[in-house]
Structure 1
Amino acid sequence: MEETWDNSIASKTCYIYDYFHDDFFADEHGITRSLAEGMTYENTNKTKIDAKFIVKSYQSMDKDQVEYYLMFRPSQPVRFNEGDDLYYYETDFRKRYGATFPIGLFVDVPDDRGIYHKWIVCRDEPANQFPKYLILPVNYELTWIEKSNDKRIKRRMWCCLRQQNSYTIGTYTDRYFTHTDNQSKVWLPMNSITEKFWYTDDDAKNMRVIVSALTEHPTVWTVTKCETASTLGLQKLTLYTNFFNEHTDYVNLETGEMYANYFDSEIAPTDPSTPTTPPSSITARISASTSTIKVGGSYKNLTANLFNDSNEDITTEYADATFTWTCSIDDEDWTDKVTWRAGTEYNQKKVKFPNDTSVIGKILSIKCEIVKDYLPIKSEILPLELIE
């Protein structure tokens, strides 16, 4: 096998690595990673490894994914000493989770055109001489909010989506009610990030994640089971149908970000590599032509300006920021009850109040949150009296 290795058409030069040794490819927003196209290895943290790509079957009638295997070169070591490129497996996977190399690692495998695709090693296939390893294609980047004491951190990681073997029509009816009934599974590598997934016997308190195409109302799921030992080195999540909540869940169609329970706390979620608070010296104020707004009247122009600690207007420095406008009456959210229109400038907005005379004389409180480089700045409240 060793002598004829290079002559085999199945032999490929692959790259193996864990989550922390992945090479990220960011777009102009700095958050989107490349899954397959464009991966190069001139300067990489990944480890080169020789393997044969084996297809066990080309179609399946009763499973959601046919099986693919990798077989490493016979001379490839599976245990590593200090100084080896893959020594981190001994401490991070074998010692901590009891895993066996290479379970839980990502591997980049080239196709017939030489384009590398990301896979995850899921199981070993024992053999007397030449053991093989089951691999599955990585097909989704899961995003979620991690709660750690008083911190809430935005997380994202490539994973493998799996379907349950039992298929349903999507609803279940007991003696009294009919409710949605759909299940799915997600397989991720086990590491210091994914080990924090959890669930309880109270569905209302379980973690929620979004697994969906990028839409305004994506499909949301509840984590109902975490399996960390069915295959040591993997975190297997079982998901159950939930509902999208426009008040707590966050979707950005431009950047592709989707987070369940994003607004579930007063503490804003942050990326682990970014500061948790904006510069305290920057303030934001909203201005309008008058301090009143007519019920059922025309649009009113609003302008948000930002100032530094010297009270100098620095709004032009936030031309690429995101301005999110909200309003309320007596602490009741009215953001979706009024009509908004874009202003002529990036820091301007137009608002029109509906013809609801029951609130005449009350105060409409307008706020704006400006986010740049993941740092939110909340404006001062602009009070507008509702008049006829």
Structure 2
Amino acid sequence: MKKILTLVVCLGLIFATLVPSYAEENAESIQKSDSEVGEVFNLTLDEAIKIGFEKNADLEIAKLELEKAEVVYKREIRDVRDMERNVDLIFSRDPITGYRAEDAAINKVLVKNGAMRRTVELNHNAAIWNVAIAENSLTYKIKKSYYDTALSYEQLKITRENFELSKKQLSIGELRLSVGMISKQQLLGLQLSLSQAQSQLDGATLAFELQAMSFKNLIGLPMDTQIFLSDPIAISSYEPIDIDKSISESNENNAMLKMSRERSELSELNFEAIKVKYPDITYRYREEALVVANAKRSAEQVRTAVEMGVRSAYLNLITAEKQIATFKLAVQQATEALRIAELSFELGQNTPTEIAQANINLMNAKKSLAQQIHAYNLALLDFEYSTGIGK
């Protein structure tokens, strides 16, 4: 029986020495994975956006489409100017012009009421807006991915802190065992806690590495690039918000809303031209009237959607901001609970299981606070983009 007990003690002591050793080796492997061969980038958020813009294929295609649209616009606007200068001659009823009488009359009105010019300008503006939207969308994606990566790294640090704390508690437990202050069973509990902390650290490391790869892929960096984020996860500040002013800005800036309004107005100008030749009893008249009604409804639906986007983004921002204080209190409470648990353990009044649970509670409270700050930053990001050209 004594031999069995001696074997158990020896195994416990061996395990106690192996676990910290494995943890240290793993920590070194994390550093090695962070410092693989490749260029090193210390990235601020602005620098990440700059790099992303230099390498993004979608943005490059949108710019090429704009260049193509510029060529078309110059040709078409020149034709429109010719029509405006010679409208009566070009759209005369002379068969030589190639226009039927009905088409000539309608086109003449479309030139005079500005519909032809505005159609050409809308096509050109759409290409300009598409570039702005592509830039806006890419900026948003990079910012979000930067925040996601910062959160993942913060969670890795928190998990690493929990691991180091568990390792420290095991070391203290080994000393207490050597002087007979705790039992072998209690030491095994501390060893189990450290093993669990190691598993959590492994999971957090994997999650960070995957998120870092996703971020590097988005901004166009090689996978072996080593990145350090200069802007840690923190509570971003903002100027006081006037919600009515923000809605007004969104109505002026949103590209989809500007396009839908322009199309609605163009449908009315087109309808005005159709009336020249088609009375209200004809199918063509009623068909165009339906087009006008649908265009107006579509423009109103887009306007409502844009306003709802601003209002919902604002509510999400305010709610997320208020909840941060609650999560801060939870961290304070968990920190104090761990201190009491450690003190009680030293006095022999609780078990390693209670220490382990206190460790986990503190780690989870810190992670929850980091996640809430991240949610707040994303809510602020969404609000800022809800008042712009769109994404």
Specify which structure has the higher proportion of strand. 1
Q: Which structure has the larger Rg over C-alpha atoms?
A: 2
TM-score using structure 2 length: 0.17
Specify which structure has the higher proportion of helix. 2
Question: Which protein has greater RCO, CA pairs closer than 8 Å, 6+ apart?
Answer: 2
TM-score using structure 1 length: 0.17
